[in-house]
Amino acid sequence: MQDSDSITKIDAEFNISSATGRRWRAEQTKYGTPIAQRRTRRFKAEQKGHKLGRPFRVNNSILHKMADPLQNDHCYKPLSQQAEAYNLPLAERSLQYNLKTRVNA
């Protein structure tokens, strides 16, 4: 889709209605990209400096302490006991997932 293409040519090429073609052209003009961006939520969040999704309930530094045997006195105990020792608001399975994905432990 180029700037010189007419709406009817775009409609025929992509097999879309003329209203959709006009919307795509408006989005292309607005965002200045050669391909109209259909998903703008992440794009807008990145512009504002936000990150999509819920924030993590446990800080990364606590997870790194738990993964380090030199800093964690309870490292060989079950995760449920470690969560109690660190006052973490997570279930055992959630803590296991966080350690695996965020710390690679």
Q: Give per-10-residue mean pLDDT for the chain (105 aa).
A: 71 85 81 60 80 87 91 90 92 92 84
Domain identity same for 39 and 71: no
42 is a domain residue: yes
96 is a domain residue: yes
Q: Other C-beta atoms within 10 Å of 10: how many?
A: 19
Domain identity same for 39 and 64: no
Q: Which amino acid is at 92?
A: E
Domain identity same for 67 and 42: no
- The boundaries of the domain holding residue 83 are 60-103
Domain identity same for 67 and 97: yes
Give the pLDDT of residue 82: 92
How many domains would you assign to the chain? 2
31 is a domain residue: yes
